[in-house]
């Protein structure tokens, strides 16, 4: 079976803490979506969760999840354990 290694790439990420700084995080996601020209609704902070609309459907981030801006400018949540195994601070 062929195996593949993830290419080293630097991404932007912020942790969703469900606090007053979450407004800034929502703004960051929405500004990024707008800049990409993506025709999806804006991200919203509802009942302690962050809902990130994508072309594949809504993704829900819970407290502690990381919000990643991917290589194509897309946004998606990542659970803390997976984030720690996959990324390191530069």
Flag whether pLDDT at 35 surpasses 80: no
Give the phi and the psi of residue 49 in degrees, each rounded to 5.
-115, 155
- What digits encode the pLDDT tens for the residues 44-65? 888 999 999 887 889 999 999 9
d(CA 12, CA 22): 16
Return the beta strands (E) in 1-90 as ranges. 12-15, 44-46, 49-54, 57-61, 66-69, 75-78
pTM: 0.83
Tokens at 60, concatenated: 């829900």
- Give domain limits for the chain: 12-86
């Amino acid at each position: 079976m062929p195996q593949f290694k993830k290419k080293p790439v630097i991404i932007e990420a912020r942790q969703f803490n469900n606090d007053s700084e979450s407004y800034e995080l929502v703004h960051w996601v929405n500004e990024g979506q707008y800049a990409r020209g993506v025709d999806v609704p804006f991200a919203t902070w509802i009942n302690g969760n962050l809902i990130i609309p994508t072309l594949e459907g809504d993704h829900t981030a819970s407290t502690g999840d990381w919000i990643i801006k991917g290589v194509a400018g897309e946004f998606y949540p990542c659970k803390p354990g997976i984030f720690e195994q996959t990324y390191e601070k530069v």
